[in-house]
Structure 1
Amino acid sequence: MIDFRYHLVSIVAIFLALTVGIVLGSTVLQNPIIRSTQATAESIKKMNQDQRDQIAALQAREDGNNAFVSDATPELVQGNLAGEHVLVVEAPGAPSGLRDQVREVIERAGGTYTGRITLTDKFLSAEQTGVLDGLAAQLSPIGTVFAEGATPYDKAGQVLASALVTNTPLSAGTVNTATSAVLQVFQEGGFIAMSDDPSKRATLAVVVAPATPYEGDDADAQNGAIVAVAGALDNGSLGTVVAGTATASGTGGVIAAVLDSGDEASQVSTVDTLDLPSGRVALVYALREQHAGRSGAYGIGSGATAFAPTPSASPSPVATGG
Structure 2
Amino acid sequence: MKYLTLSLALLLTTISAAQGRFDNVEITVKEVSDHIYMLQGAGGNIGISTGEDGVFMIDDQFAPLSDKITAAIKTISPQPVKFLVNTHFHGDHSGGNANFEAAGAMIVAHDNVRKRLSENAKTANAGLPVITFSEDATFYQNGDDVFLTHVHNAHTDGDALVYFAQSNVLHTGDTFFNGRFPFIDINRGGSIAGDIAAAKKGLMLINDETKIIPGHGALATKADYQKYHDMLVTVYTEVKKAAQNNVSLEEVTAMESITSSFFTDAETAKDFISGPKFRSTVYKSILQELETNEN
Task: Say which structure, 1 or 2, has more relative contact order (CA 8 Å, 6+ apart).
Answer: 1
Query: As a proportion of its length, which structure holds more helix?
Result: 1
Could you state the TM-score of these two structures normalised by the residue count of structure 2?
0.29
Query: As a proportion of its length, which structure holds more strand?
Result: 2
Q: Which one has a bigger Cα radius of gyration? A: 1
Could you state the TM-score of these two structures normalised by the residue count of structure 1?
0.28
